[in-house]
Structure 1
Amino acid sequence: MDHMMHHDHDHGHDHGHSDDPCAGHDHSHAMVFHSCVCTEILFQGWKTTNALELFGSAVAIFLAGVLYEGLKYYREALHTRASSASDSRVNITKSECGTNSPCAGTAVVKYSMLSGGHIIQTCLHFIQSTASYMLMLIFMTYNVWLCLALVLGLAVGYFFFGWKKNTVVDMTEHCQ
């Protein structure tokens, strides 16, 4: 019995002297913002245990936000390019706004289900949806630095790519 108690005591003592600086931190994702450097991000292997690792992860997340906005613009640009093409895939129809309004002609892209354009848009939609959910899960770590890196990345991405949306003519924009 005494041997058993001694073994339990040693076992508890070993946990107190772990080399892992994050051993005492609760890795469950409580719904409160925190600034701890010990954070697990998306995968078990992506953990930060010090400020340098957290900074590197924040930079990667910032760049992911920029690229996400770029992907959104690229999909819209591909769709607009297909809309402005003068081939049989595009059907110009009258809109509900009247014949003299700025949106009198609305370009409608008619892809067939197995057309190259539709397959490319489907693949890009898959990538964009996956990235969107992953970025949302990163935000749900509630780490202040990672959340800040993400929203700054999205803002910078919009700054670089969003202004181009004004030059891409959306023929239905004035109808809304």
Structure 2
Amino acid sequence: MTNRIRDIRKAKGLTLADLAAACDPPTTAQTIGRLETGMRSLSLTWMNRIGTALEVDPASLMRAEDSERARIVAELAATGPEALTTPREAVLPSELAAADGPAPLVLAVSASVGEYRPGDLVWLRQLAPEEAQSAINRDCLLPRPGGRFAFGRLIDRRGTLVGLLPPGAGQKQVVVDNPAWIAVAMMLVRPL
């Protein structure tokens, strides 16, 4: 079995130092690097610490050697596509969800609205209402009374009122009073 720490860390945009600092208690970037490469044994304790720091299920840090997964083989830079020295595994959006939190939500786009196209899937991560400040100026989905939803750029949070600017041109701000949760967009999946 090999571990997927590097793949998940890079998918979340973290450096070795970021992950080391997020561990409880904090560790060093060198230790994380050794765990990623297998130079240091990945114990159950380390799996739990790193899983918590990455906000994923610790079991998702491991994969069987014989399982073939999608791989990232190149990165598109300003100068064009560049080959990676070592391909890495592409991590599914559902595997990036917090281990102890709610499962990700997905908003399916059926018509062109703003920057979104038909067929797009917007993967969202639920936040508790008190975490809403971290979602300012990001696209969010909110529940509304009667089984309805509001979607748009979170532009305002005052007390229990949350203001969204819908992605369509010319649409007015939507205000939702005391939503049960706020789901912030974390990934866009677009078929070509």
TM (norm. structure 1) is 0.21
Q: Which one has the bigger strand percentage?
A: 2
Question: In proportion to residue count, which structure has more helix?
Answer: 1
From the CA coordinates, give the structure whose radius of gyration is larger.
Answer: 1
User: Which has the higher relative contact order, 1 or 2, with Cα contacts under 8 A spaced 6 or more apart?
Assistant: 1
TM-score, with length taken from structure 2? 0.20
